[in-house]
A and B are shown apart, each in its own frame.
Chain A
Amino acid sequence: MIKTEQLQHQVPVTDGVLTILKGINLSIKRGESIAIVGASGSGKSTLLGMLAGLDTPSSGKILLDGTEITQLDEEKRSAVRSKLVSFVFQNFQLLSSLNALENVMLPLEVANHPQAKQQAIEFLGRVGLAERHTHFPRQLSGGEQQRVALARAFASQAPILFADEPTGNLDTVTGGKVADLLFAMNKEAGTTLVLVTHDRALAQRCTRQYLMTAGELAELDT
């Protein structure tokens, strides 16, 4: 489903060039869940952004469902994202001007989904927030906001879900509940999950785990 070849990414800095990703080779099968762990600044989120087509690497290839996305322009990458990808972010990324229902509907509306509202209501129900659908993000707790984000991610029914520190902003108990929901919904939908976290316990719930160290990726022995 996802494959990278010799993925490398460098950014210019004042005193030269900083290499963030160093020749990453990765292959993830359909329905598989992988976790990438590592210290802050190790390049985890950069790799996630590259895999999702949010950014382009300096060199190397990324194949999403057989499409080589590094050679595509932004217009075509957008089309690929629309079809294949959904996200859950550490800081939830809910639009403050939209209520819970509208936030879930947003990607469906972007994709011109014919029954965006019904689909959004259904998924809000699955995360237990059907009654709160008119509430705005500021009226929801952190855990509730992340559950709305989960509903939004799964409602689009994209085959790949990228999750960037999905419990990073939550306390242990709330984070645990959100993680349970994430894995349960992922299992039910059969989505390919790429999870970036520095929570080893969370990572262990994935089928495979990788450790990111200074731009290099190594699979952990599970």
Chain B
Amino acid sequence: MKNLLTFIWRDWRGGELSILVFSVILATATVTSISLFTNRIQNSIQQEAAEFLAADVQVRSSMNIPDEWFEDANELNLQSAQIQSFRAMAFAKDAMQLATVKAVSNSYPLKGTLTIAENPADEGQIVSNGPAAGEAWIVARLMAALDIKTGDTVTIGDADLTVTSVLIKEPDSPQTFFGVAPRIMIHQSDVPRTGAVQVGSRVNYALLLAGENKQLDAFKTLHQDDFGNHFRWTTPQQGSQSLDQALQRAEKFLLLAGSLSVILCGVAIALAARRYATRQTTNVALLKTFGQSPNQIAKRYLAVLFVVASITLSLGFLSGWGLHILLLTLLADLLPANLAAANYSAYGVGALAGSVALFSFALPPLLALRKVPPAKVLREDSEDALISARLSAVIGFFSILLLVAIFSRDLAITAIVTVGCLVTIFGVGFLGWLTLQLGNLVASSLGQSWRLGLANLQRHQQVNALQIMIFASLFMLLFVLIASRTSLIGQWQSQLPTHSPNVFVFNIFNHEKAQIEEQLVANKIDHQPFYPMMRGRVIEVNGESITPRIEQTASHMNYERELNLTWAKNLGDDNKVTDGHWHDAESESLEVSAEADYAQGLGLVVGDKLTFSITAQEFTATLTSIRSVQWDSMNPNFFMIFNQPVLDDAATNWLTSFYLPPDKKAVLNQLTAAFPTISLIELDQMIAQIQGIISQVSMAIEFILLLVLAAGTLVLITSIQSTLDIRMQESAILRALGAPKRLVIRTLLVEFGCLGGMAGLLGAIAAEAALYGLQTRVFSLDYAPNSMLILIGPIMGALLVGMVGWLSTRSVVATPPLQVLRQLS
């Protein structure tokens, strides 16, 4: 052991191990920090998203939740709460108003907080539980409608309740237009007193659960058979379609960035390991002349690898942990105060990635050292017996893909990254050959440094091909990351501009439409178009009841509930026809367009005849198109859009939305006073929450991009270092033969610049291929080819590689040639 440590110490002192050691430390640190940081952000996002449900999971049903389910939750150490929602008339003094009653248990909410106030104009205080028995909390609008204040009595059904607070904010505020009448929150023990819930009453029940994922999964498994029928398992993502797409994209990006950092670090380790192994061949031959056997050699290097692994992985882990703390400190103002803890698995990802990369790349060439012939000490041209670069690359390629698959747990990301890498690998041969041939053709007409530089490129074709492949992969990954980040953040910013609509007004009768419009204009409020809206449900497909389809569907959607339906001549900007064709303006028959997920869940295809039940009347329409809808656009969107009015204007309700600045909130009271039957939803909280999450994630993405760029630079430097010896030797010989310094520098610049240019072009082509897959398959965004990339890629590649190459080799011209040759011999 002492001998081994001495051996390692000497190698370290001699600089042989330093690049490998630094590569593993940096790789492990980068992946660890990215993994911890992204995991904590992801968990925090989940946590914040959970507030939209007031729980980690809601089990929703139109049936009462069985008592034993609460006992099961208790046994699994899950927190639980219950909500019952129903509509009832609220009476106060002489006024009455239809309201949605939300009856909650003691422990509600499990996630998030409630905000209540004594008066509607007050700022409010945060509380962590709902009203006590006998109390009612009422939203300001309903209080105004009923003309009551705190301390007054409100009657719901048969129960008299004291209004103790104004309900300002509830975590799981309604986010759909369904059944939104002004809200009253009461304690669930008061429900029987109201007498509003009878057999046959329409009541929505929800069991709220919070706890560890493992326990939640166990609960889900326990009642698996009930889900899909009368009970729906709803996670935060399913709970809010608007937030869902934004979160999914953010998570995918973080996973993509992490996966790319794994690849970059793997490549850096691969290069460093190969360089180390190559430089050890003469040493091994010498050790063999001293009598060291092949098995002893193998054991020695295996032991070196284990010692290096344990030291570097530990240091890498600690540095990664420290880096993520630094990251959190730097971003403290932008991140939530109580960032969620990381999962245990996130701690191990960096060390796992580092060790897989180290062993898969370093072990084969190091074990191959046992085959180095001892006669190499006599003849430098003896066969090296090092494992071939191709075999090594194949082993490493599959190891890294395995790591990406483990890290991302996403088949699409793994497949797309694989395709991108393959385009790079196979493209390099052709492009490299083409460029060298062109170089040959024009070399004679170029200057001396160009001739020498191109000759160098040609002389080391194999090494250069490998290097172009590495650089091109590196550029591809960076281009992909930068382009994805730009389009994601751009997309978010464009979908949620500062003045996104924050108020939705609906249940507007036909005769009220013009007056409301006038009132909005008078108050200088820009509103969105008025959409006609009616409620109805699909009851038959091609003349057959949809019940069998509902029983068979794997979708979580509630197909039995009423949908918001509309009609429109034009397709909205945030809608895209994925099958069939948009409404024919000339068509006189009734046509309908369905939202893609809804259609898929029911197994609908273009051409189906759908029968709708709308206000007790039946209408049959032909399904002419299926649309994807960008739900996170915050614009009004509909599952079904007809091509013409289905009902008479008199029976139609209208919907509009607008941005209301904080100082014009009084307009809402004017509207509700003038049009008491209209319904309003204020989305300020939700928009603020989404914008908050997006700004956090955008920040995280930018910082992670910087980390990955740092890893990329490491690869670049390592790769150049790995071929430094041969370049230094040639440059020293050139100088010894009388070449001026300037010529040597220019030759190196030409060589590295051409390498970088070719790699940049190839990387840009491969990035376009990968971006197409990522945008369309992973991020669900439109793909727009980025023609500038093809131009910028080669220029950036040439400049970057040329600069790093020159910086790495500038010592060649600063050191006397004899000294260089001596060092290399």
Q: Which residues of A contact B (CB under 8 A)?
A: 45, 48-49, 52, 54-55, 74-75, 78-83, 85, 87, 89, 91, 93, 95-98, 102, 106-107, 109-111, 138, 156, 164
Q: How many A-B Cβ pairs are below 8 Å?
A: 82
B165 sits at the interface (CB 8 A): no
| Chain A, Cβ-Cβ closest to B382 | A55
Further contacts, 6 of them, CB under 8 A, given A98-B10, A106-B286: A81-B291, A87-B289, A97-B10, A110-B287, A110-B292, A138-B823
B451 sits at the interface (CB 8 A): no
B374 sits at the interface (CB 8 A): yes
By the criterion CB–CB under 8 Å, are B14 and A97 in contact? Answer: yes
Q: How far is the CA of A45 from the CA of B377 in the complex (A)?
A: 11
Q: How far is the CA of A61 from the CA of B483 in the complex (A)?
A: 68
Knowing A45-B379, A97-B14, A109-B3, the reply to whether A78 touches B294 (Cβ < 8 A) is yes
Knowing A54-B373, A55-B373, the reply to whether A96 touches B293 (Cβ < 8 A) is no
By the criterion CB–CB under 8 Å, are B378 and A79 in contact? Answer: no
Which one of A97, A107, A138 lies within 8 Å of B290 (CB-CB)?
A: A107
Q: How far is the CA of A81 from the CA of B375 in the complex (A)?
A: 13
Within 269-317 of B, Cβ neighbours of A (below 8 Å) are at 282-283, 286-296
Quote the shortest CB–CB distance from A121 to chain B (angstroms). 16
Contact partners of A98 in chain B: CB under 8 A: 10, 14
Contact partners of B287 in chain A: CB under 8 A: 106, 110
Which one of A81, A83, A96 lies within 8 Å of B14 (CB-CB)?
A: A96
By the criterion CB–CB under 8 Å, are B291 and A54 in contact? Answer: no
Q: Which residues of B contact A (CB under 8 A)?
A: 3, 6, 10-11, 13-16, 282-283, 286-296, 373-375, 377-379, 822-823, 825
By the criterion CB–CB under 8 Å, are A83 and B378 in contact? Answer: no
Quote the shortest CB–CB distance from B249 to chain A (angstroms). 50
| Chain B, Cβ-Cβ closest to A53 | B374
| Chain A, Cβ-Cβ closest to B380 | A91
By the criterion CB–CB under 8 Å, are B286 and A93 in contact? Answer: yes
Q: How far is the CA of A102 from the CA of B825 in the complex (A)?
A: 19
Knowing A97-B10, A97-B13, A97-B15, the reply to whether A48 touches B290 (Cβ < 8 A) is no
By the criterion CB–CB under 8 Å, are A97 and B291 in contact? Answer: no
By the criterion CB–CB under 8 Å, are B375 and A54 in contact? Answer: yes
Contact partners of A91 in chain B: CB under 8 A: 825
By the criterion CB–CB under 8 Å, are B292 and A45 in contact? Answer: no
Which one of B282, B292, B295, B373 lies within 8 Å of A82 (CB-CB)?
A: B292
Quote the shortest CB–CB distance from A9 to chain B (angstroms). 11
Knowing A96-B14, A97-B14, the reply to whether A156 touches B822 (Cβ < 8 A) is no
By the criterion CB–CB under 8 Å, are B295 and A75 in contact? Answer: yes
Q: How far is the CA of A48 from the CA of B379 in the complex (A)?
A: 12
User: Please, could you name 9 A-B residue pairs with CB atoms under 8 Å apart, sorted by A?
Assistant: A48-B378, A49-B378, A54-B375, A54-B378, A55-B374, A78-B296, A89-B378, A97-B14, A110-B292
Q: How far is the CA of A74 from the CA of B296 in the complex (A)?
A: 11
By the criterion CB–CB under 8 Å, are B289 and A75 in contact? Answer: no
Quote the shortest CB–CB distance from A20 to chain B (angstroms). 11
| Chain B, Cβ-Cβ closest to A92 | B825
By the criterion CB–CB under 8 Å, are B290 and A102 in contact? Answer: no
For the complex of A and B, 7 pairs with smallest distance between CB atoms:
A97-B14, A82-B291, A78-B293, A107-B290, A54-B374, A81-B291, A55-B375
By the criterion CB–CB under 8 Å, are A107 and B379 in contact? Answer: no
Contact partners of B823 in chain A: CB under 8 A: 96, 138
Q: How far is the CA of A83 from the CA of B292 in the complex (A)?
A: 11
| Chain A, Cβ-Cβ closest to B296 | A78
Contact partners of B825 in chain A: CB under 8 A: 91
Which one of B11, B289, B295 lies within 8 Å of A52 (CB-CB)?
A: B289
Contact partners of A106 in chain B: CB under 8 A: 286-287, 290
